[in-house]
Structure 1
Amino acid sequence: MTHGSDTIFALSSGGLPSGVAVVRISGPATRNALVSLCGGVPASRRATLRPIRSRNGEELDKGLVLFFPSPNSFTGEDCAELQIHGGRATVRAVLATLGELEGLRPAEAGEFSRRAFMSGRMDLVEVEGLADLIAAETEMQRRLAAEQAAGGLSRLYDSWAKRLTHARAMIEAELDFADEDDVPGSVAASIWDDMRVLQKEIFNHLGEGRIGEIVRDGLKVVIAGPPNAGKSSLLNYLARREVAIVTDVPGTTRDVLHVDLDLLGFAVRLFDTAGLRETEDVVEREGIRRTQLSMAEAHLVLLLSDRPDEDWPALAHGYEGPIIRVLTKSDTRDTAWPSVRSDAMISTRTGSGIDDLLEAVADHLPDIEAGSALALPTRQRHMESLAEARIQIERALACLDGLDIQSEYLRLAGQALGRVTGRVDVENLLDIIFSEFCIGK
């Protein structure tokens, strides 16, 4: 199955130079391209060493050539891969030669995956998982993306869609075939218990959206506190590089800076923020406004101060999210310890207490067992469509206007689920009815 008349090609293996570069080709002219460049089409799915030649016969390189005939390829079209040496000039020459062939053009961003979706080889959730797998930087990001790219999340959503289809089929059976001996009366009543269970399953799944967000995008940790409390020093210590301004002049951090850490396989994104204080400086006040906005959106706030007796009661006032109160500059103290209890005491000069602070941050990471499947919603569009499906099921359960209206609510719920995966199927309800009842025997 092809989509349009174009055959596309692109370097698929990343930056150059490299030991090996992989050039991918997909579309109806793939076979012709192989004949032109390699002198013929190799056996399907078998790596074959071939010379790669220009249109005038000049040998550009030798490499492994693989051919994947439609529909058993990544895109569902005829596909080929050229595994060549990864020098810039070599790759440039091969791509230029492909661009000279009739019907071929360079691929657009994401176009191979788009064709895989259009041909039914992947659904939207699997495509998103593939993109996340390529971008994954931590172990938990990799596991989450691999679960989605392999279809784990799609299988869950498809099972829910099938239950909705089955429920509608039972309703249609009662409405349309109630006079048949093979259809027991009030058969639709048996499906409502399952719809209540399904509604609860979707509700619980939506509740895991925060976990999916943290695993995919990282635990958002905001470092807040008064000016000169050591916020930028902590960020720099953790980053092992200068990512923020460190100075004794109060109010020097005017914007929100961040650094990403890998903590127990999870991504943790730490944000340095402007110092919280009363000021007339317009620019600094904007930085403080951004700090307060970041705190409101954070999963966790590290509230830093070297004078907690004075700072913490005022700074924490009105903030209801999780807080770790951090006493800074502990190496400079003698006997003048604060009366307010801290959750951690650190010194970025000596490194004292940093490991304890990271352990306290790790306590706020999701509790996911090592062997558990990560079938979690990860994107806002997932959450919105799933919430719509749950609402429509609730409407069906509460409806007193008849089975036909209840069936319509379930149809809308199925459509919402279909939007998550990109599969809003044309449901053949009669096929399901005939498979479960002996109507018309």
Structure 2
Amino acid sequence: MPPAAIGVVRVSGPGAREALHALAGRVPKARRASLADLKDVDGAALDRALIFWFPGPATATGEDLAELHLHGGRAVVAAVEASLGAMPGLRRAEPGEFTRRAFENGRIDLAEAEGLADLLAAETESQRVQALGMASGHVSRAVAGWRDRLLGLMAGAEAELNFADEDDVETGDNVARRLISGMGALAGELGEWLARPAAEVIAEGLSVVIAGPPNAGKSTLINALAQRELAIVSPVAGTTRDVIETPLALDGIAMRFSDTAGLRAESTDDIEIIGIDRAKAAVERADILLWLGPPKEAPDHPRAILIAAQLDRWRGDAAAEAEAALADIALSAATGEGMEKLHRYIVEMARTLLPREGEAALRQRQRAALAEAKQWLEIETGSREARDLILLAERLRLAGTALDQITGRAGVEEMLDALFGRFCIGK
């Protein structure tokens, strides 16, 4: 948004060439930058700008497209937009309309558009890498490969069903066995993709919950991690009554840290009881748990880091040091001792929850479509259905339809408005 060093105004559609000629008095060579004095319909100067002409369909939107690289002051951009808006057949773009036109004109598919939306919203390095892979077609290429294999299997089924009397066509049980083997192999590959972390984990941030008994140092720890006074610290037990959440990024990984009410067996305070229940629910949903209580009392969690907190208070106490020896790390959030080690612990554990380098994670919508495709490909060997080529061919067709939902070739009309509405006006 203005003001900026440069303001880019894009015109896309059948009127783009005429609009560019009206402002600049000429149309430059295709895909060449040219300096021009822009004027309104009355001949008044608007700006001296770089102009570009991109004839379709080999453009970002698949249509004729003109770009004006203006000085980025508000008045300059507003004056040029006003002149364009006064021309017949031109109107201001809706949010995400250029990207939507690119999708509708086949320049990108739905998975790439979703990746672009995530790239625009990326705030951390892990989000950028994941979104860039999606926008660059990582998932789309995988889907294209799966479709090619499906088409090969479908061709074999159709050949048997329609041309079984031809001498060069494989027939009988051999066809069914080959189909089932191919379907099983493809289902296994889809299962491997479904076993990867969901894209929402990267986009929304891993949930890191700090839990433990009252006065264990939970609020002091989250304040130290956030480097600000996020939670109230008090020696009075039960000070924290609700889950306090703050977004943080550690080594480029987005996380959501939550401070919780102290967990204890009994309480006569109704509000504290509600806080304890919410704390327990947060622990169950946590991707990573930071437990500040006695190690033997830690909840059964697959990714718990046992912390002996308040090191500055109990150092030298033999009993306390013996119990602390059972923890993964001892630290003092008040003095900072051990905080760097905790940082490394959290990051190392977080990396196990993220896709490996070169892997792409799937959105919930994409995962649902992939799971549906996998379901159609899974069939019990030896069953009656496994010997029926018509049913096998139908399963292959339905699996292909499910895959088409990932790239937007089928069944996604209801969610397009919501997706492209996330983009800015100029995108």
Corresponding residue of 1:107: 93
8 A contact 1:143–1:374 mirrored in 2? no
Aligned match of 1:389: 373
Moved more, 95-104 or 116-125: 95-104
Aligned to 1:303: 291
Q: Take 2:26 and 2:158, find their aligned partners in 1: how far apart are those partners?
A: 56
Residues 386 and 92 of structure 1: CA distance in aligned 2, closer, same or farther (over 3 Å): same
Does the 8 A contact of 2:202 with 2:354 survive in 1?
no
Q: Deviation at 1:141?
A: 2.0
1:359 to 2:344 alignment: yes
Between the aligned partners of 1:396 and 1:154, the Cα distance in structure 2 is 29
User: Cα deviations across residues 33-52 of structure 1 (Å, max 9, x unaligned)?
Assistant: 21222223222111111223
State how far apart, in whole Å, the 1-side matches of 2:7 and 2:242 are: 41
Distance 1:205 1:19, change over 3 A: same
State the AA in 2 paired with 1:347. S
Structure 1 counterpart of 2:310? 329
* 8 Å contact kept, 1:64–1:83: yes
Larger mean CA deviation between 118-127 and 394-403 belongs to: 394-403
C-alpha spacing 1:54/1:274, structure 2 compared with 1 (3 Å): farther
Q: Is the 8 A contact 2:197 2:355 kept in 1?
A: no
More displaced stretch, 145-154 vs 245-254 = 245-254
**1:414 CA displacement:** 0.7
Superposed CA deviations along residues 17-40 of structure 1, whole A, max 9, x for unmatched, are 221122222222212221222223
Deviations 1:117-162 (A, max 9, x none): 1111111110111111222222222222111111111111111111
Decide whether aligned partners of structure 1 residues 228 and 104 sit closer, same or farther in structure 2, where only a CA change above 3 A counts. farther
Deviation for aligned residue 1:302: 0.6
Q: 1:173 to 1:19 in 2, by over 3 A?
A: same
Deviant stretches of 4+, over 6 Å = 368-371
Q: In the TM superposition, what is the alpha-carbon distance from 1:422 to its structure 2 partner? A: 0.8
Alignment deviations for residues 378-414 of structure 1 (CA, whole Å, 9 cap, x no partner): x111111111111100138652461001110111111
Whether 2:391 is the aligned partner of 1:405: answer: yes
Is 1:203 paired with 2:163?
no
- The answer as to whether partners of 1:117 and 1:123 remain within 8 angstroms in 2 is yes
Question: Is the partner of 1:125 in helix, strand or coil?
Answer: helix
The 2-side partners of 1:247 and 1:369 are apart by 36
From 13, 17, 20, the equivalent of 1:31 is 17
Q: In 1, distance between residues paired with 2:40 and 2:237?
A: 64
Cα-to-partner distance string for 1:97-129 (whole Å, 9 max, x where unaligned):
222222222222222111111111111110111
Q: Identity over aligned residues, as a percent?
A: 45
Paired with 1:54 and 1:227, the residues of 2 have a C-alpha distance of 70
Among 120, 139, 145, the alignment partner of 1:153 is: 139
Match of 1:226 among 190, 208, 213: 213
Unaligned runs of 5+ residues in structure 2 are 412-427
Aligned-partner residue type, residue 124 of structure 1: L
Q: Is the 8 A contact 1:66 1:81 kept in 2?
A: yes
Aligned length, in residue pairs: 402
Give the SS at the match of 2:247: strand
For 2:73 and 2:221, locate their aligned partners in 1 and report how far apart those are by CA, in whole Å.
42
**Larger RCO (alpha carbons 8 Å, 6+ apart):** 2
Q: Is the 8 A contact 1:224 1:291 kept in 2?
A: yes
Say which of 78, 84, 90 aligns to 1:98.
Answer: 84
Deviation at 1:242, TM superposition (A): 3.1
TM-score (norm 1): 0.84
Range 393-402 or range 319-328, more displaced: 393-402
The Cα shift of 1:193 comes to 2.1
